[in-house]
Structure 1
Amino acid sequence: MGAPCWRQLLAAALVAVILPAPVYAVASSRGEPTSLRNEAEESAASGQQAVNRELELFRGSAISLSQAMAIAEALHAGATTADVSFDGASDSPVYRVKTLHNDRIWHHAVDATTGKIVGGEAALPLKELDAEDRSNLVALRTIRHRLADAVRVAEQAAAGKAISGGLIREHSRLNFAIVVMSGSDLKEVILKPPGAARRR
């Protein structure tokens, strides 16, 4: 991808905001038994520990999100990534990559340590998706830029390492949404591809 296209995407970055750490509301009504409050607090702490563990696994992963996308796309000539995210919840951390190829959405798991495909692959015909998802994927074909381009721009803009990326629709326009880990913060970067088709 040439420099002019990179500048176009970077100029189209809407915002990079720090995502707040998960907030766990604990009811404070006077009539609530202490045991229920304690259970809610323990559940919140357990959930935060799981998030922290997953982020630590991501920091230590040998394979980057961009590499995982390239590995999955190489399985089918001409495939393009529609959605990708890091998953540290399983025994071995993986990237979950969805690629679009020949009117099918392919699901792959790429080992975050070795870069190998694990668990085979599965495909779903586009016609089996709901209308909004189908419309987004059809629009993806009309955009000059790929999700891989958006990931590179977002990592540069947020000075970090992408942990997930995908498509979102705002005001009937298809955008890329990339979450980047920058230091200890998670930042979301929304990129508006130039010339993206408007669809309803």
Structure 2
Amino acid sequence: MRTPRCWRHLLAVVLVAVILPAPIYAMASPTDEPTSLRNEADDGAASDQQAVSRELELFRGSAISLSQAMAIAEALHAGATTADVSFDGAPDSPVYRVKTLHNDRIWHHTIDATTGKIVGGEAAFPLKEFDAGDRSNLVALKTIRQRLADAVRVAEHAASGKAISGGLIRERGRLNFAIVVMTGNDLKAVILEPPGAARRR
């Protein structure tokens, strides 16, 4: 698969392993800590690890991809673009949480990861209700050609895996896309800086 032309001049592509919840028993602990507390910590770490493993297993088995969920949400409002998307395996049926930007509003959608159907209704929030940092990122999103969907394709290709979440971050005054990709049993964060991303304070 070739890299899309609009991403050939990326200024930065960084792959970083995302740290899964580390077993607490692997961390240094005071020698005077009661054994019972250490055991409770071990149980909590094991429980966290099981929850992460369960979520990743549900994601592997989902019929709808993150890109498909974004396309479904964007199709609800002509001209909408995704600002944030993530897989959620916590509900009875796993879903994608998708936030799209359209007409100076952020629309929240829930997409069933098995069927692709919309779950529940949709909610919309005006940009003015967001804090200055988020509002700045969303305004900048409207000024660049690249979309989160483009970033997901590039990240999946770069990390040889399937995207499980994506959104906007700002580093050194520039808007970046941050995509988390599952590759085998590992999660990797792919940071993409679109060319021409506006600097906004």
TM-score with structure 1 length normalisation? 0.94
Q: Look up the match of 2:20.
A: 21
Question: 1:112-171 CA deviation, whole Å, 9 max, x = no partner?
Answer: 000001021111111011000001000000011000000001101111100000000000
How far residue 6 of structure 1 moved from its aligned partner, in angstroms, is: 3.8
Shift of residue 35, structure 1, vs aligned partner: 1.2
Q: How does 1:124-163 map to 2 (within 5 A)?
A: 124-163=125-164
Count of residue pairs the alignment pairs up: 197
Please give the alpha-carbon distance, in whole angstroms, between the structure 2 residues aligned to 1:13 and 1:158: 14
Counterpart amino acid of residue 114 in structure 1 = T
In angstroms, what is the RMSD of aligned CA positions? 1.4
Give secondary structure in 2 for the equivalent of 1:63.
Answer: coil
Whole-Å Cα distance in 2 between the matches of residues 112 and 148 of structure 1?
17
Secondary structure, counterpart of 1:81 in structure 2: strand
Cα distance in 1 between the residues matched to 2:167 and 2:124? 18
1:89 aligns to what SS in structure 2?
coil
- Residues 166, 118 of structure 1: CA spacing in aligned structure 2 closer, same or farther, 3 A cutoff? same
Q: Which residue of 2 aligns with 1:173?
A: 174
One-letter amino acid of the counterpart of residue 186, structure 1: L
Aligned AA for 2:118?
A: I
Partners of 1:41 and 1:119 in 2: how far apart?
Answer: 38
Larger deviation: 170-179 or 18-27? 18-27
Deviation track 1:87-132 (CA, whole Å, cap 9, x = no partner) reads 0011110000000011110111100000001021111111011000
**1:175 alignment partner, SS class:** strand
In the TM superposition, residue 12 of structure 1 has moved relative to its aligned partner by: 3.6
The answer for unaligned runs of 5 or more in structure 1 is none
Q: Using the TM superposition, give the Cα deviation of residue 30 of structure 1 relative to its aligned residue in structure 2, in angstroms.
A: 2.8
Q: Which aligned pairs between 1:110-121 and structure 2 lie closer than 5 A?
A: 110-121=111-122
Q: Are the equivalent residues in 1 in contact too, given 2:7–2:194 (CA < 8 A)?
A: no
TM-score if structure 2 supplies the norm length? 0.94
2-structure distance, mates of 1:173, 1:15 = 15
- Rounded to whole Å, the distance in 2 between the matches of 1:193 and 1:163 is 20
Indicate the residue corresponding to 1:48 in structure 2.
Answer: 49
One-letter identity of the residue aligned with 2:152 = V
Native 8 Å contact 1:13 1:189 kept in 2 = no
Question: Which whole-Å CA distance do the structure 1 matches of 2:31 and 2:172 have between them?
Answer: 43
Distance 1:124 1:159, change over 3 A: same
Do 1:19 and 1:186's aligned partners in 2 also have CA atoms closer than 8 Å? yes
SS in 2 for 1:178: strand
Contact 1:155 1:180 in 2 (8 A): yes
The residue that corresponds to 2:39 in the other structure is: 38
Identity of paired residues, percent?
80
Q: CA deviation at 1:13?
A: 4.2
Report what 1:196 is aligned to.
Answer: 197
